[in-house]
Amino acid sequence: GQQVMQIPQYQHVQEGEDFTTYCNSSTTLSNIQWYKQRPGGHPVFLIQLVKSGEVKKQKRLTFQFGEAKKNSSLHITATQTTDVGTYFCRNAGNMLTFGGGTRLMVKP
């Protein structure tokens, strides 16, 4: 299957700092989805990227899809304690593969 690797696995930031998680694949992806899972909760869909070089924003969150469609990133500007959780990318291709997730911890 098309494996997607996420880095970093964990990230501690001070509230107000920026945060970025990356999703990488060795093969071209049809599209990428991003999900957020709060501690003790279930994954919730954030966004889907389909086009090469696509950039989408949701308030303080910026999502990018690489030009070669082999990587994607999620950037949070000025993190808040409400951003705490694990962020997953998902290769919504044939093998339905989720990345291992990046756990974000925010110190107030």
Query: Based on CB atoms, which residue is closest to other proteins, 68 or 78?
Result: 68
How far is Cα 44 from Cα 26, in angstroms, rounded to an integer?
26
How far is Cα 99 from Cα 108, in angstroms, rounded to an integer?
27
Query: Based on CB atoms, which residue is closest to other proteins, 77 or 84?
Result: 84
* 33 lies in the binding site for other proteins (CB under 8 A): yes
* 20 lies in the binding site for other proteins (CB under 8 A): no
Query: Based on CB atoms, which residue is closest to other proteins, 22 or 88?
Result: 88
Least CB distance to other proteins at residue 46 (A): 9
Helix (H, G, I), strand (E, B) or coil at 82: helix
Residue from 23, 76, 79, 101 that binds other proteins (CB under 8 A)? 101
Helix (H, G, I), strand (E, B) or coil at 83: helix
Residue among 80, 19, 54, 82 at smallest CA distance from 8: 19
DSSP code, position 31: -
Residues at the contact surface with other proteins, assessed by CB under 8 A: 1, 30-31, 33, 35, 41-45, 48, 88, 90, 92-101
